[in-house]
Structure 1
Amino acid sequence: MHQLTYGDVKAAADRIAGRVRPVVLSPADPGEFLGGPGGDRAREDCEVWLALEFLQHTGSFKARGAQNFLQAHREAGSLPGAGVTIASGGNAGLACAWAAGQQGVPATVFLPATAPAVKVARLRGFGAEVRLVGTEYADALAACGDFAATTGALASHAYDHPLIAAGAGTVLEEIVRQVPGLDTVVVAVGGGGLFAGVATAARHHGVRVVAVEPENCRALNAAIGAGHPVDVTVDSVAADALGARRASATALRAAQRGDVRTVLVSDTEIVRARRALWDQRRIAVEHAAATALAALPTATRPQVGGGGYRPSAGEKLAVVLCGANTDPGDLTPVHADRA
């Protein structure tokens, strides 16, 4: 199996330059999201940046990996007439369909029947053929494999492919250029594509990675504990994007090689973090994006998932808000006052 390297991330950055949107960094008042009862000045003296990757094409970081994957195959002359196929919780499928459209090839996307309607509608808007199978990502993945074997379509993957992970890692390259001296990057983890790419680049730059997972979608955390990828239960409000049954071997190796801290957060904390982004910033993200922010303690939430991640005084950290393919209707009270 290919060992993901920093060179892969750099090659991806060159390959997708001008084809994706550079990440936007927004400074955050630490008091918005950090601090403890009575005011924890050590926490408030840190420097927090929000990486607004949900502004990316198709609404998530997945556009980076999809663009890298298809562009690499285009350069190698290995894009088949049958097009590309992928199984996804939604975001990877959107990115694949978008990138395939740019290459002029068809895309067939397999999703669990539980996928959010907003993602299904957007996929069809990108011209993809959508097939709904089963109730979990694993069901869609099996059907996608059968389809690729039968039709000759090029099989992409939502997270477990070096070109996909390397593409995702390019977001860290852009963050460190904009935030010199970055100490820590906080990312949500599902199957581990974003994490593997970011951790590989972060190791090169000497940046710590905080890998955040829902308590009941803890594929990476479980793999670290077992020493190898293992199947886990999938039951979280963020499962549509973070609901992989197991983390990739690439993600596990990245966790074992770098300065990585894993954090588990409850669905309650994820929902609160998502709501806080809306209330304080009018940012509407999906639960997967809020999962990363949920790792940081607040005045009303001094402990998260066994302690969360508590920045040190003077620490510079960036929180990656990875996607916004969500229905924002539950963020606004039904009887909100109208001016």
Structure 2
Amino acid sequence: MNLQASAATQTDAPGQLETLTADQTQWVAQVFRACAGAIEQRIHGKRRVIELVLASVFAGGHVLLEDVPGTGKTALARALGQVIQGTSSRIQFTPDLLPGDVTGVSVFDQKAGLFEFHAGPIFANVVLADEINRASPKTQSALLEVMEEGQVTIDGKSHEAGKPFLVIATQNPVEQAGTYRLPEAQLDRFMIKTSIGYPDEAAMIRILRGERSTQEPLKPVVTTNSITQAQSFVLKAHVSPLVADYAVRLVEATRRASEVRLGASVRGTLALVRLASAWAVANGRHYITPDDIRDLAMPVLAHRLVLEPEAEFDGVTAQQVIGQILLDIAPPQENGVA
């Protein structure tokens, strides 16, 4: 399938922001559906999760999958790396993993008399950070720069990680022995946090029937250049003042909630709008609706909240706080699109 971008860039007028054309919108939606359909060959009955992960890719964000063992977290990440015709790597996080094992190190070449940089597995288009919470905080911090800026600085020299660049991390919420809780700064760099969950009966039967075929890698359906082009198109999606105001009011409410010690950050607000842009374009629209913001608020904002100790003791969860905020703050009745 040829999914190269062919739509020309259109500009309203000199000095104005570029607008998203109908051809560009439909092309992104086509790429999105092709990728989702390919990944669904491996992850049955979880179309919503697949689309959330893909929307994060199109929005240029990173993904944190938190779920019990054996639900397909690693399989989803591996399938994503296979459908994108680029480089992929897997890092198995363990307590003895060092930062240099992730980013790479400079090694002295005696013949040349110079230090030569040996890139680590973080230099790939799709990086699977498996069981990320098993590594020490020092090793986890090695991801902070590259997840935010797409580069790694070693011995004062910056090295580009490549484009597109996606970290899809997994962690197990059940086993806490030998794990380190992700710090807030690390969590904030993930655009979404979601889970796959157990498949239903029909999906489980399809999994059993196709067990042999799961050992074969998926064929790439889209190139890295196409993903990069799709990301640039997503940035052109129209965000009306009404929709932007709704997103800001939701985030502000997380900071005022009595159960919350630390609300969603500015990065969280930007992530919400960017993901909504990707979600809208992937569904064939050049503009964001209030429903896009509402539907995506939970996976984008919940993991960014730090609750008060008293609230945690009472069994309050971040998901409950976000759910109540969505009930309290009414969305605008119009999209603000002429």
Specify the structure having the higher radius of gyration (Cα): 2
The verdict on a shared fold, with TM-score over 0.5 as the criterion, is: no
TM norm structure 1: 0.31
